[in-house]
Structure 1
Amino acid sequence: MAKNRTGRVGEEIKKELSVMIQRELKDPRIGFVTVTGVDVTSDLSQAKVYLSVFGDEEQKKDTLKALDKATGFLRTEIGKRIRLRHTPELIFKIDESIAYGSRIEKLLDEISEEGEN
């Protein structure tokens, strides 16, 4: 039963964060960001937010710094919108799975081209 609740809370946080990052944060350091997932602990004390950032490593670092600065605002807004008694602490992490997947796909394409030749 508790797993269902953490999953639902994680999805709500993901949805709200996506909207807030795209529309409400005005920091120029934040580039093109997609919230790929949110893992919430079972006691709802922490939420790891996984982000996919379009750009090079420096843009990713700048985006993380800007989001860390805006954590208080984001957490307050999530508390208002989702109406939880205790709003989870937000921990932002870069999700490399999309880049990793595209690299694997590129390698597989190269192998298949070599096999045809």
Structure 2
Amino acid sequence: MARPRSSGQSGPSQRQLRVGELIRRRLSDVLMKGDVHDPDLNRLSLTVGEVRTSPDLKVATAFVLPLGGRDREEALELLDRNRGELRRQVAKGLELKFAPELRFRIDESFDRMDETRRLLAQPDVRRDIEE
């Protein structure tokens, strides 16, 4: 039996992390192989950076980014339009009691990393770091 989580604990459980990673890999495979019957979606090259699951594992939010970061809105529209088929394809490769509802968001972690690098490269910041 699973231990109850303390109310002060935040962040995902080990199970959420494990299932999120399994969904990320499976979704990446489905998108890479073009297993969806939508030529518009299949022509896009998408990176699935992370998948976060709800505590009950019934909702999975996939953070995606099109190659080169262009056509973000179009990518989200295509993913949303094919949500049902993607859900079925992802569920085929997983042994979960329920196929999670898929939600899609743009992965902005690369943008944040670039901004952090830019900030750290500023002369006054570098000076403060080196002291």
Check 1:12–1:107 CA distance in 2 against 1; reply closer, same or farther (3 A cut): same
Using the size of structure 1 for normalisation, the TM-score is 0.81
Query: Is 1:65 paired with 2:77?
Result: yes
Q: Which runs of 5+ in 2 are unaligned?
A: 4-12
Aligned to 2:23: 13
| Number of aligned residue pairs | 113
What TM-score results when the alignment is normalised by the length of structure 2?
Answer: 0.73
Rg: which structure is higher?
2
> Please, which of 69, 90, 93 is the counterpart of residue 55 of structure 1?
69
Pick from 88, 95, 98 the counterpart of residue 107 of structure 2: 95
Question: Aligned residue for 1:105?
Answer: 117
Matches within 5 A, 1:25-44: 25=36, 26-28=38-40, 31-44=44-57
Which of the two has greater helix per residue? 1
Amino acid of the structure 1 residue aligned with 2:44: G
Q: Which amino acid aligns with 1:98?
A: F
- Aligned with 1:28: secondary structure? helix
- Distance apart, 1:98 and its partner CA: 0.5
